[in-house]
């Protein structure tokens, strides 16, 4: 007899059963290492997931299981694959209450819009495997808007994993839907085509390089929305053309016209966002990959420890964290900072210490088995906290420094000699606290809800102003701090480039794109720029906090009256550097210039 009732889904996390849906008592699910236990009425079945990493193969394998056991439900294959996704077990139940509501709706009714919303939330939480399955299901919806949104989000999710070829397929699908389905543009008049076309160009640049992207752009330039989305890439095409055909005046003219049509802040942001450097973007932007990469290089480059705090990716590094505490008993009560690996803009950050982490580990069995409180955020980057930060008028700050890649082989990078300060909204305190307002004394995020712009505007704004304020009579020490920043940026880029080339040429990396292209998976537009965030301590030390592959404009876009034209100055210097004008003394270059 065929069974068509709704399926009840159960996930097992560290011995605790987490009920997501209970639409039918005749079906139960239980996740185990041996397979997935599926209870159909009173019959216990074991589903063995496919070992293939191809989602279509996994779904086909699951569909065959559902068919062979007469389980008639269009959701059955998707549910089997999601339930089997190891990341849900390996990296914690990072799903919010809202996400679980969407999951229940999808499980009970098959609503593909709910599947897409849940999938994108899981992607943002780092549960890529489950997100992949849900978004693929939603991308096949008969509702054009649901299919478009899911395809666009799946492109983003796959790109975060470095699966650029797969991402390109869904970028193309989202663009085709945006241009062919009027209801999409009607619901998202300002974003549909712009977002889709921009994502398509970015994916084409990553997979095929600028030539193919430029050819496709010429075809797409027929609509106003496409023109709006593609102008940042037109700038890059001009820069690349300047290097190959020496049309430097043309490139400068195009950037000048774009600045006049928009403004310097928008143009510099567009260049940052549309610039491509495969696979450095992924390795530098991802907190986990950056931490793993620098830790692995420490044995051969011990100086990394002088600018990168002791870091652990939890729960994966919990044994290494135990060993670190045993070697350093004095660290037990010292403050640590925990950051969700896949969050941004300061979301989910909290303060803790070694004793709390170890106690939590003992109580939960493993950090990823908690389903309440601050630890319920998936993978966390745990770092030793710099408790003696340099402050100005009592406020903690960090420095955003721009670093442009001129070439990968040989590696040539330019560390810009001007950056800007990001201040914490509240005065610094050594107390460990995790309420929002109290925590804002520690987090130097440009978009904090506790920020008072009038106070920020009264502070020094640029790196040179900051150093002059701290060391007013010591030009030599200011220079030493800049040299430390240059050294840390140089070393990080050298380590990243070596790791990227080794993994790409060996072809055995899970987080680098597998592609056969003229650039062998390595492609970097000259001038691709990253934002490095550095903290200064009161002993004159410099600490790398994180790196952003799309760093945005100066001051985070938060301008104050009387600000110097920082973005205009940056663009001018950027053009001088990228288009070949010799550098002045005092600016940092890495090997090969």
Q: How would residue 453 be classed by pLDDT, with cut points 50, 70 and 90?
A: low
Residues 390 and 533 in one domain: yes
pLDDT on residue 312: 93
Residues 373 and 441 in one domain: no
Q: How would residue 579 be classed by pLDDT, with cut points 50, 70 and 90?
A: confident
- Whether pLDDT at 385 is above 80: yes
Lowest mean pLDDT among 219-228, 268-277, 432-441, 557-566: 219-228
pLDDT on residue 321: 92
pTM over 0.85: no
Structure tokens at 250: 């043309």
Mean pLDDT of 77-102: 59
pLDDT on residue 344: 74
Using CB atoms within 10 A of its CB, is residue 193 exposed (0-12), middle (13-18) or buried (19+)? Answer: buried
Of residues 92 and 563, more confidence is placed in: 563
Mean pLDDT of 309-317: 89
Residues 486 and 367 in one domain: no
The pLDDT tens digits of the residues spanning 405-446 come to 988 777 889 999 899 999 988 889 887 776 667 788 888 876
Whether 191 is covered by a domain: the verdict is yes
Whether 229 is covered by a domain: the verdict is no
Residues 194 and 290 in one domain: no
pLDDT on residue 452: 59
pLDDT on residue 521: 57
* Rg, Å, the chain Cα set: 25
Whether 3 is covered by a domain: the verdict is no
Phi, psi dihedrals of residue 458, rounded to the nearest 5°: -85, -5
- How many separate helices (H) and strands (E) can be counted in the chain? 23, 18
Cα separation, 273 vs 279, in Å, equals 15
- CATH of residue 302's domain is 3.30.470.20
Whether 477 is covered by a domain: the verdict is yes
Of residues 335 and 345, more confidence is placed in: 335
Residues 525 and 445 in one domain: yes
Residues 289 and 359 in one domain: no
Mean pLDDT of 575-580: 83
- Whether pLDDT at 487 is above 90: yes
Mean pLDDT of the chain: 78
* Beta-carbon-side half-sphere exposure of residue 132 (alpha carbons within 13 Å): 24
Q: How would residue 85 be classed by pLDDT, with cut points 50, 70 and 90?
A: low
Q: Is the peptide bond before 386 cis (omega within 30 degrees of 0)?
A: no
Residues 320 and 305 in one domain: no
Whether 2 is covered by a domain: the verdict is no
Residues 374 and 480 in one domain: no
Mean pLDDT of 276-298: 89
Mean pLDDT of 383-396: 93
Total domains in the chain come to 3
Q: What percent of the chain has pLDDT over 70?
A: 76
Whether 415 is covered by a domain: the verdict is yes
pLDDT on residue 495: 94
pLDDT on residue 541: 94
Domain termination site, one of 359, 385, 411: 385
pLDDT on residue 211: 82
Which of the given ranges, 93-102, 260-269, 538-547, has the highest pLDDT on average?
538-547
Q: How would residue 96 be classed by pLDDT, with cut points 50, 70 and 90?
A: low
Domain termination site, one of 369, 385, 401: 385
pLDDT on residue 346: 76
Concatenated DSSP letters of 149-218: HHHHHHHHHHHHTT-HHHHHHHHHHHHHHHHH-HHHHHHSTTTHHHHHHHHHHHHHHHHH-HHHHHHHHH
Q: How would residue 383 be classed by pLDDT, with cut points 50, 70 and 90?
A: very high
Residues 289 and 355 in one domain: no
Of residues 51 and 214, more confidence is placed in: 214
Query: Do 106 and 98 contact (CB within 8 A), yes or no?
Result: no
- Whether pLDDT at 265 is above 50: yes
Phi, psi dihedrals of residue 123, rounded to the nearest 5°: -60, -45
The pLDDT tens digits of the residues spanning 11-21 come to 322 222 233 33
pLDDT on residue 41: 58
Domain termination site, one of 385, 418, 436: 385
- Whether pLDDT at 179 is above 50: yes
Residues 430 and 323 in one domain: no
Whole-number Cα distances in Å, 62 to 67, 217, 415, 481, 589: 9, 40, 51, 58, 54
Of residues 122 and 246, more confidence is placed in: 122
The pLDDT tens digits of the residues spanning 111-127 come to 889 889 888 888 877 77
The pLDDT tens digits of the residues spanning 204-232 come to 988 888 888 888 888 887 666 666 778 88
Residues 94 and 202 in one domain: yes
Whether 267 is covered by a domain: the verdict is no
Q: What is the DSSP letter of 581?
A: P
Q: What is the DSSP letter of 510?
A: S
Residues 78 and 56 in one domain: yes
Lowest mean pLDDT among 45-59, 63-77, 502-516: 502-516
Of residues 335 and 231, more confidence is placed in: 335
Concatenated DSSP letters of 252-265: HHHHHHHHHHS-HH
Q: Containing domain of residue 129, as a range?
A: 10-208+216-223
- CATH of residue 352's domain is 3.30.1490
pLDDT on residue 125: 74
- Whether pLDDT at 80 is above 90: no
The pLDDT tens digits of the residues spanning 488-544 come to 999 999 999 888 877 665 544 444 433 333 444 567 888 899 999 999 999 999 999
Whole-number Cα distances in Å, 249 to 214, 241, 253, 264, 580: 20, 11, 6, 18, 12
Which of the given ranges, 217-221, 284-288, 455-459, has the highest pLDDT on average?
284-288
Whether 148 is covered by a domain: the verdict is yes
Mean pLDDT of 292-318: 92
Of residues 168 and 2, more confidence is placed in: 168
């Amino acid at each position: 007899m065929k069974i068509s009732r709704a399926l009840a889904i159960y996930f097992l996390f560290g011995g605790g059963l987490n009920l997501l849906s209970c639409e039918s008592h005749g079906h139960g699910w239980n996740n185990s290492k041996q397979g997935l236990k599926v209870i159909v009425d009173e019959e216990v079945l074991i589903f063995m997931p496919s070992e293939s990493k191809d989602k279509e193969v996994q779904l086909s394998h699951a569909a065959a299981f559902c068919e062979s056991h007469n389980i008639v439900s269009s959701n059955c294959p998707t549910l089997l694959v999601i339930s089997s996704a190891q990341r849900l077990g390996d990296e914690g139940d990072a799903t919010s209450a809202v996400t679980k509501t969407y999951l229940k709706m999808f499980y009970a009714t098959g609503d593909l819009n709910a599947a897409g919303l849940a999938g994108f939330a899981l992607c943002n939480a780092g549960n890529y495997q489950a997100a992949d399955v849900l978004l693929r299901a939603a991308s096949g919806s008969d509702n054009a808007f649901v299919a478009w949104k899911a395809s666009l989000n799946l492109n983003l999710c796959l790109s975060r994993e470095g699966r650029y070829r797969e991402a390109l397929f869904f970028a193309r699908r989202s663009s085709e839907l945006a241009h062919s389905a009027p209801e999409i543009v009607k619901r998202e008049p300002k974003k549909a085509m712009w977002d889709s076309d921009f994502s398509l160009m970015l994916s084409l640049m990553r997979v095929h390089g600028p030539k193919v992207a430029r050819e496709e752009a010429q075809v797409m330039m027929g609509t106003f929305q496409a023109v709006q989305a593609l102008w940042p890439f037109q700038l890059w095409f001009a820069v690349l053309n300047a290097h190959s055909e020496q049309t430097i005046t043309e490139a400068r003219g195009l950037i000048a016209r774009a600045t006049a049509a928009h403004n310097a802040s928008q143009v510099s942001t567009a260049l940052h966002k549309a610039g491509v450097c495969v696979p450095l973007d992924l390795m530098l932007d991802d907190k986990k990959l950056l931490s793993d990469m620098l830790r692995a290089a420490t044995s051969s480059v011990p100086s990394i420890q002088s600018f990168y705090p002791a870091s652990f990716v939890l729960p994966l590094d919990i044994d290494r964290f135990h060993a670190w505490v045993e070697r350093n008993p004095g660290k037990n009560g010292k403050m640590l900072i925990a950051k969700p690996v896949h969050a941004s803009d300061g979301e989910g950050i909290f303060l803790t210490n070694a004793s709390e982490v170890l106690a939590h580990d003992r109580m939960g069995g493993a950090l990823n088995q908690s389903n309440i409180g601050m630890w319920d955020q998936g993978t966390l980057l745990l770092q030793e906290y710099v408790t003696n930060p340099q402050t100005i008028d009592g406020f903690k700050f960090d420095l955003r420094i721009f670093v442009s890649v001129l070439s990968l082989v040989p590696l040539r990078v330019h560390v810009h000699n001007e950056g800007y300060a990001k201040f914490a909204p509240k005065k610094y305190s050594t107390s460990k606290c995790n309420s929002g307002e109290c925590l804002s004394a520690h987090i130097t995020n440009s978009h904090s809800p506790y920020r008072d712009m009038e106070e920020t505007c009264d502070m020094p704004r640029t790196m040179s102003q900051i150093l002059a304020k701290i060391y007013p009579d010591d030009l030599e020490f200011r220079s030493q701090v800049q040299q430390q920043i240059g050294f840390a940026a140089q070393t990080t880029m050298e380590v990243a480039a070596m790791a990227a080339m080794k993994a790409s040429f060996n072809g055995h990396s899970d987080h680098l794109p597998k592609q056969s292209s003229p650039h062998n998976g390595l492609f970097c537009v000259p001038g691709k720029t990253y934002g490095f965030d550095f903290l200064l301590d009161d002993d004159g030390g410099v600490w790398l906090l994180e790196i952003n592959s799309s760093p945005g404009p100066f001051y985070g876009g938060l301008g104050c009256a009387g600000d110097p034209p920082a973005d205009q100055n940056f663009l001018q210097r950027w053009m001088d550097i990228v288009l070949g004008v010799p550098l002045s003394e005092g600016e940092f270059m890495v090997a090969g210039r």
